[in-house]
Amino acid sequence: MITLKVLTLNGCSYCDNYKRLLDLRDIKYIEISCSDNENCSWCDSIEALSGSELYPMTIVNNQLLLCMTDNYDMLGRSIEHSNYTINYYRDSASIYKHILSII
């Protein structure tokens, strides 16, 4: 069984649309609001690790980090870093497609 953690920001329309897509397929996930003070430092460390401040981000099985980037040199790349493999995408729809391919 796949465990998904979806990192979001309050008021982020991309995050809302992404969660809606997951909900439509009844894909279970744990939402972690990076707007909450209790999660801020952890989310900041994920941003530093990935080099991206774009949301939503998704962590699969505590091993794979799927994030968006506006750096075209990073698109489609997969990088091994500490405890995560980091994959970079242009938008949340591309992350969603990746999720569908592995469930």
Domain ranges for the chain, please list them.
Answer: 4-102
Q: What is the pTM of this model?
A: 0.90
Cβ count within 10 A of residue 9: 17
Q: Tell which CATH architecture fits domain 4-102.
A: 3-Layer(aba) Sandwich (3.40)
β-pairing verdict for 64-68 and 84-89:
parallel
Give residue 23's pLDDT band: very low, low, confident or very high (50, 70, 90): very high
Q: In Å, how far are 22, 94, 102 from 97, measured between CA atoms?
A: 10, 5, 9
Mean pLDDT taken over the chain? 92
Per-residue model confidence (pLDDT) at position 80? 87
